[in-house]
């Protein structure tokens, strides 16, 4: 390495806690090690390894996905642009090598050679304990299980050491898909119980920073806020042995440093660069860039319907007319999104989600509605966003702030650290937010169950309550289970139309998930959870 290149590398290290410079002396052993290691850089890292934990952030999902087994997983498909994706409608064995599905239950046959990371055999009692835990701890994991009608410990039966049964409490087409998401992971029950306490019977404190699984990777090093190191579990039996032996995941807060690391070849992959960078990197052609629309996902402005002033429908509608939609698409998303606004007033509602609403930027209409709401002079409020996704949220919120000011709504922008965002959402105290949500199960009724149903205490972040909305969502779920297409279509169109009329959240766009990687990295696959799956990655 030339002296000037070495100094540039060391400067980047000091500026952004980035990857160490390459050694001055090349060696075959070092080259082999580098080939067997994928170096990932992101804006922020996990705050919790346990998907059942309280306030686990999105990076925590990535740890859980790669370090724990589930009974089954999805197959793959290739999208028109050549990007690999999971296949929503295909299921493959993982910890279970086979299953028998009937109208009243599904029975899984577990692999007899599967073990946890410490070598302990995985048995049906571990699966039973893990599912009991998921439906009991409350919060997000319990509601996720409930989304697939997985609600009671009595539903889960360890028939023998290698046979596990789920009894259905109702017909629900979401039950089987819900068994393949991150939450129904299988935990080493005896290990967790040894580290549980009377106040923490499910051992959540232990699993927050310790892996108790048997998945394809195990964590060998964690420096919160700095680095997570994963090593391949060479005894993994629930799928093809991954080709990459080691994953080094570094937190690099500066987007500029993350891009520089990729362009220099010091990092292998990153998924959270600003859209402008992804567009430019694709044009330059030095890196591979994959871009995929995020299924069942919307970026939105949300308003707390429980408290004044946003409990007033006309205030919410005024905000919907004041949002600078096109500016956001151009200056923030750089075209890497599907617009969800400006539908013609007479356009027929579709049996689909997401789909565009009829609102456009109309400041005169917004001022009129604000005056009719009893706020002719406007008001003051806060506009909050997740700093962990600041590359999109911050410029978006500045544009919204400027536009709302023109109708008299004066906002103070509140930047919430990514590690705290989920907990702040759960409090449901923030009056106005910029946020993103995508449903893991790509069905309209699933998204609306999470975000609009009055019984949902987790992602109904706007505290929206409406019995008619609840009835439409429930009717769609029942109709889907019974294959009653006419009732299903009517229910979906009904709850989408109601959501647009009452706007507790204003959809802005369906974003794309982009990932930039070195051209010698292959095997990237888009997943519903939007995190990296290390198991399919490879390096030339």
Q: Is residue 81 part of a domain?
A: no
- 402 and 333, same domain (yes or no): yes
Strand order through the sheet with 525-526:
72-78, 84-93, 525-526
What is residue 455's predicted lDDT score, i.e. its pLDDT? 81
Residue 185 CB contacts under 8 Å (≥ 6 apart), including other chains: 51, 52, 64, 68, 69, 70, 130, 213
pLDDT value at residue 141 = 95
Mean pLDDT score, 289-293: 95
Residues whose CB is less than 8 angstroms from the CB of residue 330 and which lie 6 or more positions away in sequence, other chains included: none
Whether residues 232 and 175 fall in one domain? no
Residue 12 forms part of a structural domain = yes
221: CB partners within 8 A, 6+ apart:
227, 228, 229
Residue 345: per-residue pLDDT: 86
Whether residues 487 and 523 fall in one domain: no
Examine residue 83 and state whether it is found in any structural domain, yes or no: no
* Residues listed for the chain: 540
* 410 within domain boundaries: yes
The predicted model gives 84-88 an average pLDDT of 96
When comparing pLDDT for 4 and 237, which is higher? 237
- Cβ atoms of 187 and 126 within 8 Å: the answer is yes
pLDDT at 134: 98
Tokens linked to 437:
């949500």
Is the pLDDT at 269 greater than 80, yes or no? yes
Q: Is residue 18 very low, low, confident or very high in pLDDT (cuts 50, 70, 90)? A: very low
| Same domain, residue pair 415 and 442 | yes
Per-residue pLDDT band at 216 (split at 50, 70, 90): very high
Give the mean pLDDT of 314-327. 98
CB atoms within 10 A of CB 240: 9
The more confident residue out of 55 and 240 is 240
Q: Is 105 inside a domain boundary?
A: yes
Q: Looking at the structure, tell me whether residues 505 and 381 fall in a common domain.
A: yes
Residue spans of alpha helices (H) in 36-138: 58-67, 124-136
For residues 245-264, average pLDDT: 96
Q: How many domains does the chain have?
A: 3
Q: What span, in angstroms and rounded, lies between the C-alpha atoms of 532 and 100?
A: 30
Does the residue 79 lie in any domain?
no
Beta-bridge mates of residue 293: 512
As a whole number, mean pLDDT of residues 536-540 equals: 95
* Percentage of the chain modeled with pLDDT above 70: 94
Q: Which of 536, 426, 538, 530 is nearest to 181 (CA)?
A: 530
CB burial string 45-66: b at 16+ within 10 A, e below: bbbbbbbbbbbbbbbbbbbbbb
Q: Does the structure show a pLDDT above 80 at 25?
A: no
What the block records as the tokens of 305 is: 């319907």
pLDDT at 282: 96
- Out of 173, 194, 215, a domain closes at 194
- What average pLDDT does this structure show over 22-31? 49
Residue 367 lies in a domain: yes
Check whether the bond before 106 is cis (ω within 30° of 0): no
Residues 275 and 227 grouped into a single domain = yes
pLDDT of residue 30: 60
Half-sphere CA count of 223, side-chain side, radius 13 A:
8
Does residue 276 carry a pLDDT above 60?
Answer: yes
391 and 507 in a single domain? The answer is: yes
Q: 333-389, pLDDT tens digit by residue?
A: 999 999 999 999 889 999 999 999 999 999 999 999 999 999 999 999 999 999 988
Query: Sheet harboring 105-110: ordered strands across?
Result: 96-101, 105-110, 163-167, 156-160
- pLDDT value of residue 27: 53
189: helix, strand or coil: helix
Give me the mean pLDDT over the 248-259 stretch: 95
pLDDT band at 29 (very low <50, low <70, confident <90, very high): low
- 364 with 427, same domain: the answer is yes
* 484 and 346 belong to one structural domain: yes
pLDDT (tens digit per residue) in 136-162: 999 899 999 999 999 999 999 999 999
Q: Of 143, 176, 194, which residue sits at a domain end? A: 194
Neighbours of 474 (CB within 10 A): 16
Distances in whole angstroms, Cα of residue 48 to Cα of each of 53, 225, 311: 7, 11, 34
Question: Taking a C-beta distance cutoff of 8 angstroms, is the pair 111, 238 a contact?
Answer: yes
Euclidean distance between CA atoms 73 and 92, whole angstroms: 5
* Whole-number Å distance between alpha carbons of 375 and 377: 5
Q: Is 509 left (phi over 0), alpha (psi -120 to 50) or beta?
A: beta
State how far the Cα of 49 lies from the Cα of 56, in Å rounded to an integer: 8
Does 26 have pLDDT greater than 70?
no
- CA-CA distance, 278 to 282, in Å (whole number)? 6
In whole angstroms, give the CA distance from residue 214 to residue 202.
18
Choosing from 144, 162, 194, the residue where a domain stops is: 194
Residue 10 CA to residue 358 CA, distance in Å, equals 52
| Domain assignment present for 78 | no
pTM recorded for the entire structure: 0.88
Q: How confident is the model at residue 5 (pLDDT cuts 50, 70, 90)?
A: very low
Give the sign of the dihedral formed by CA 410, CA 412, CA 418, CA 420.
negative
Average pLDDT over residues 504-530: 97
**What average pLDDT is seen over the chain?**
93
| pLDDT attached to residue 34 | 78
| Residues 227 and 127 placed together within one structural domain of the fold | no
Q: Are residues 180 and 321 in the same domain?
A: no
Report pLDDT for 272. 84
CA 195, 417, 383, 394 torsion-angle sign: negative
Q: Residue 33 — very low, low, confident or very high, per pLDDT cuts 50/70/90?
A: confident
Under the banding of pLDDT at 50, 70 and 90, the label for residue 399 is very high
How many other CB atoms sit within 10 Å of the CB of residue 346? 6
Segments forming the whole domain that contains residue 108? 88-194
The CATH number covering residue 431 comes to: 3.10.105.10
Assess whether pLDDT exceeds 90 at residue 22.
no
Above 70 in pLDDT, residue 459?
yes
Domain check: are 528 and 467 in the same one?
no
Under the banding of pLDDT at 50, 70 and 90, the label for residue 31 is low
What is the domain-level CATH number for residue 171? Answer: 3.90.76.10
């Amino acid at each position: 390495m030339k002296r000037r290149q070495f100094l540039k590398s060391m400067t980047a290290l000091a500026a952004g806690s980035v990857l160490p410079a390459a050694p001055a002396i090349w060696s075959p052993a070092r080259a082999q090690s580098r080939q067997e290691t994928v170096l990932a850089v992101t804006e922020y890292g996990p705050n919790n390894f346990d998907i059942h934990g309280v306030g686990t952030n999105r990076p925590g999902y990535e740890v859980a996905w790669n370090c724990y087994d589930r009974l089954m997983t999805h197959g793959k498909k290739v999208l028109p642009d050549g990007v690999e994706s999971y296949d929503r409608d295909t299921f493959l064995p993982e910890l279970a090598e086979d299953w028998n599905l009937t109208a009243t239950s599904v029975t899984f046959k577990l692999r007899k050679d599967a073990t946890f990371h410490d070598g302990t055999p995985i048995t049906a009692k571990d699966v039973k304990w893990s599912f009991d835990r998921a439906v009991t701890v409350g919060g997000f994991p319990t509601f996720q299980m409930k989304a697939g009608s997985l609600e009671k410990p009595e539903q889960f039966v360890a028939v023998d050491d290698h046979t596990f049964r789920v009894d259905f409490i109702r017909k629900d087409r979401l039950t089987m898909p819900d068994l393949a998401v991150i939450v129904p992971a299988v935990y080493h029950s005896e290990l967790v119980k040894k580290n549980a306490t009377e106040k923490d019977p499910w051992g959540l404190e232990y699993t927050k920073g310790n892996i108790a699984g048997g998945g394809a990777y195990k964590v060998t090093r964690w420096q919160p806020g700095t680095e997570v190191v994963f090593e391949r579990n060479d005894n993994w039996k629930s799928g093809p042995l991954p080709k990459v032996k080691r994953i080094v995941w570094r937190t690099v807060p500066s987007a500029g440093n993350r891009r520089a690391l990729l362009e220099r070849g010091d990092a292998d992959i990153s998924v959270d660069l600003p859209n402008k960078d992804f567009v430019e990197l694709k044009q330059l052609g030095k890196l591979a860039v994959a871009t995929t629309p995020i299924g069942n996902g919307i970026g939105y402005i949300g308003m707390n319907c429980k408290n004044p002033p946003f409990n007033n429908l006309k205030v919410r509608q005024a905000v919907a007319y004041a949002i600078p939609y096109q500016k956001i698409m151009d200056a923030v998303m750089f075209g890497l999104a599907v617009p969800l606004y400006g539908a013609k007033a007479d356009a027929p509602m579709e049996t689909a989600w997401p789909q565009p609403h009829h609102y456009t930027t109309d400041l005169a209409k917004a001022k009129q509605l604000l005056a009719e709401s009893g706020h002719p002079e406007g008001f003051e409020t806060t506009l909050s966003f997740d700093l962990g996704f600041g590359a999109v949220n911050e410029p978006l919120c500045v544009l919204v702030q400027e536009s709302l000011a023109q109708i008299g709504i004066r906002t103070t922008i509140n930047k919430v650290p990514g590690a705290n965002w989920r907990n702040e959402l759960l409090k449901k105290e923030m009056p106005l937010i910029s946020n993103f949500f995508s449903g893991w199960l790509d069905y309209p009724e699933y998204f609306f169950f999470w975000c609009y149903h009055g019984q949902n205490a987790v992602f109904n972040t706007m505290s929206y309550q409406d019995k008619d909305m609840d009835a439409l969502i429930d009717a769609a779920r029942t109709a889907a289970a019974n294959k009653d297409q006419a009732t299903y279509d009517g229910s979906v169109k009904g709850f989408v139309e109601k959501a647009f009329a009452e706007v507790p959240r204003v959809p802005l766009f369906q974003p794309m998930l982009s990932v930039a990687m070195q051209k010698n990295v292959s095997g990237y696959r888009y997943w519903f959870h939007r995190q990296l799956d290390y198991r399919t990655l490879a390096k030339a």
